[in-house]
Structures are given as C-alpha cells and as structure tokens.
Amino acid sequence: MTQPAFHRDNGTLFVEGVSAADLAAQYGTPLYVYSRAALTAAWHAYADACAGRRATVHVAVKANSNLAVLNVFAREGAGFDIVSGGELARVLAAGGKAANTVFSGVGKHPDEMRMALEAGVKCFNVESIPELDRLNAVAGELGKKAPVSLRVNPDVDAKTHPYISTGLKSNKFGVAFDEARATYRAAAAMPHLHVVGIDCHIGSQITEVAPYLDAVDKVLELVDQIESDGVQIHHIDVGGGLGIRYDDETPPDIGEFVRTVLDRIEAHGAKTGKTREVYFEPGRSLVGNAGILLTTVEFLKPGAEKNFAIVDAAMNDLARPAMYEAYHAIEPVTERAGAAPTYDIVGPVCESGDWLGRERSLAIEAGDVLAIRSAGAYGFVMSSNYNTRPRAAEVMVDGTRVHVARERETVQQLLAGEHLLPD
C-alpha cells in the first residue's frame, strides 16, 4: 500500500518524505504546507472517473489560488473555474488556458468581462438579467460574441452550513428557477451572446449525493423546457461543493460521486436522444486535505475555567473557525508522552473570536509545533493582515523536495503602499 502523503514516523509528522518539524524549523511558522502527491491523487480521482465520458473537471480557484497549487493542476490538463479577473490572471500565470476556464460569480465588473473576453474564456456563468445586459454590451463593444450559461437556483437544500449554502431561494446566487425559461429566452435574443449551457451550484462541504441528484433532476427538467423554447443547451455544469473529512464526516468517494451524477445525466440523455457535456467544478475536495497549517505554541496559559494554548497562528491566518465555527483537527508535530490537558487553541489577535480549536486534549509545552489539518482549502486565500500581521509563507512538498510557493510577507511590504499626509 502506498504511504499516505501525511503520515507519522517514530512519532513525528511527515509530509511525503519531509519532516514537518524540519519544515517549521527551516521556514518558520505560521506556515502552510501542501503535498503535491495529495493534490495529484485527488485530481486523478475526478479525472479517472470522467475518463471515456463527456465530462470535464474545472478546478475552483477560490479554494486555493496559490500559483504552485494551480500549476500542479494545469500540468495535469485541468480546466479552471474563476470568480474574478484576478483569478483569471492567476490561472494564466500558472499555465492554465483561458479556453478551458469558466467565469462564475454574481458581480462581474465590465473590466473583468473585457479581460475574459479578450483572453477567450470558455464560458461565462451569468446570474441575472442585468449581468446579461452588461455582458452583451461589453461583448458588442469588442465585436465579440460571449459564450454564456445561466446559473439556475434550483431551491435545493444542500444540508450544509448556512454561510456556504448557495442553492436556496434565500441565497444571493443564481437565477430563480421559476424565472429561468424567460431569462434564457432573453439571453438568446441578445445579439452579442451565445447560449451554450446551464449551471447549478448548491453549496459547499456537502457530504451526501442526494442533494446533487435532486438538483440535477430539476435542472434536467428545466433543460427540456428551455430546449422546447428553441434554445439549445450543450453542457450541464453541476458545480462543485463535495465535502471532505475534517472530523467524523463521511463524504462519498469522489469517483463514486462523479459516476453517480454522470449516470443520472446520461440516463436522461438516453431517453431524450441528446447527449451533453458535463462540467464538474471541485475545490475543497481537491485541495482541502492536501494542506496543513503549522503553528508554534508561544505560551500555555491556565485559566479559571479554561486552559489556553496561545499559538503564533491566528484568525487572520485561518479564518474558518472564527467565521463558520469550523472544526480542524489539531495535533502535535512531534508526539510527547505524559498528561494531555484540555486546551482552547487561540492566537495573538486582539479578538475573543480568535480561536483555531476548542477543548482539545494535547500533551504539549511552549515551543512545540502543532499541525492544523485539512487547511488546504479556504485557508491562505481567506487570510488577512488584521493587526498588521504579515501573511504566512506557503511551501509545496514533492517527495523529499520542498518548493517555496510563496514567501512570507514582511511588515515593510504591508506599509509600502501607504502614505503620510503632506506637511
């Protein structure tokens, strides 16, 4: 059996062939560490399940936009899903192709539309009539015809955290299901747009297949209605959102998930005599468990009601616990014998919400390095400079080699763009 990308050897955590303790000593903490082998394995779980079928995989850049991470996927021939002009620039810099990139998001600026049209993106996922009007005008100015897909809101409960649920009537995303046919007719009538598909994304950290199938069934029913109006649908974009294991979740196997969704869509196509390409847009399930955040214990602080382990990482480095009350497994990089008191793992940021883990039993001392697991998705990309804290460094481990994927920021860099008032 192949050794897991993250494993222990004589009580010390390793990332592939490199000790996490050595990484912390050489590059400092807080430190994001990614495993190329884990990224590649997750990619192939999707790609292999799509092999021989009319299906393509587009990496959701918002989950982790580091150039080295994106480059791993670009070298595998991945497509990409972006939500900003900045993310398009990252895809191109990482070796990805605009022609295999889908542009999603609810609030595209005209400059972003121009950039994407001139680069030649594969498709715009559009979410409202006003956005259609804007894209039509921008494409007309450039003498181009923009390929569009409408993101339809199927009003399906993804059974996930409300902040990452996107497919309900109350969410800001997508065209209302009951208004979709009329919106498609409007899009088809615009001279500088070309309708090519339909899009649906119901949320994130979804651990069941059933919500996907419910959404697919509603979308397929809608596709039949749209095509009866004379508008042809060439692809179905089922979005991303498949969950990972942070604690005790049991998400479906990636390959099983992909095959189940494809089987449902292909069965409908067999009945209607029409086959369509299917797009998957995974993010978290590609990168989430391919990364960890290393942090050093600064102080152990006993309290009247709680014990605190104060570490050098904080809510500005990993926002998910403070934002979603999200759980991340936390473990010592080097195991220590002895008692394991219960600690809240907190950072130095001046906020009571600055915590990374609560009520964790750990045998640790000041100076020990902790590994925060499952930090590859929505970790560094959501980090900030709150309290004028430079953002962490990022490294990629490839076997026994270590590549500095992003250098640690400095305070001087943070101040560089600011100016005092004149005399």
pLDDT at 242: 94
pLDDT tens track for 16-62: 999 999 999 999 999 999 999 999 999 999 999 999 999 999 999 99
Pairing state between β 355-361 and 12-15:
unpaired
pLDDT at 161: 41
200 counts as catalytic = no
132-136-138-142 Cα dihedral, nearest 10 degrees: 150
Query: What mean pLDDT value characterizes the chain?
Result: 94
pLDDT at 158: 55
Q: Which of 50, 123, 200, 350 is catalytic?
A: 350
The mean per-residue pLDDT over the stretch 372-390 comes to 98
pLDDT at 172: 56
Percent of the chain with pLDDT over 90: 91
The mean per-residue pLDDT over the stretch 85-110 comes to 97
Amino acid occupying residue 89: A
The answer to whether residues 311 and 357 touch, using CB atoms and an 8 Å cutoff, is no
pLDDT tens track for 126-154: 999 999 999 999 999 999 999 999 999 88
Q: Phi-psi bin for 239: left (phi > 0), alpha (psi -120 to 50), beta?
A: left
Rounded CA-CA distance 116/129 in Å is 19
Superfamily of domain 105-280: Alanine racemase (3.20.20.10)
273's CB contacts (< 8 A; 6+ apart) are: none
Superfamily of domain 6-34+288-415: Lyase, Ornithine Decarboxylase; Chain A, domain 1 (2.40.37.10)
Query: Which alpha helices (DSSP H) does 290-329 contain, by range?
Result: 320-324
Q: Does residue 282 have a known ligand-binding role? A: yes
pLDDT at 226: 96
Q: Does residue 46 have a known ligand-binding role? A: no
130 burial level (CB within 10 Å; 0-12, 13-18, 19+): exposed
Rounded CA-CA distance 140/15 in Å is 51
Residue 389 is given by DSSP the state P
Q: Does residue 75 have a known ligand-binding role? A: no
Q: Does residue 389 have a known ligand-binding role? A: no
pLDDT at 3: 85
The mean per-residue pLDDT over the stretch 231-239 comes to 96
User: Is residue 101 scored above 60 in pLDDT?
Assistant: yes
User: Is residue 171 scored above 80 in pLDDT?
Assistant: no
Query: Which alpha helices (DSSP H) does 100-163 contain, by range?
Result: 110-119, 129-142
Q: Does residue 240 have a known ligand-binding role? A: no
CA atoms within 13 A on the CB side of 243: 24
Q: Does residue 255 have a known ligand-binding role? A: no
pLDDT tens track for 248-304: 999 999 999 999 999 999 999 999 999 999 999 999 999 999 999 999 999 999 988
Phi, psi of 214 (to 5 degrees): -60, -45
Q: Does residue 17 have a known ligand-binding role? A: no
The answer to whether residues 168 and 157 touch, using CB atoms and an 8 Å cutoff, is yes
pTM of the complete model: 0.95
The mean per-residue pLDDT over the stretch 346-368 comes to 97
So where are the chain's domains? 6-34+288-415, 105-280
User: Is residue 159 scored above 80 in pLDDT?
Assistant: no
Radius of gyration (C-alpha) of the chain in whole angstroms: 23
Q: Does residue 85 have a known ligand-binding role? A: no
pLDDT at 203: 85
User: Is residue 157 scored above 80 in pLDDT?
Assistant: no
Rounded CA-CA distance 127/132 in Å is 8
pLDDT at 235: 98
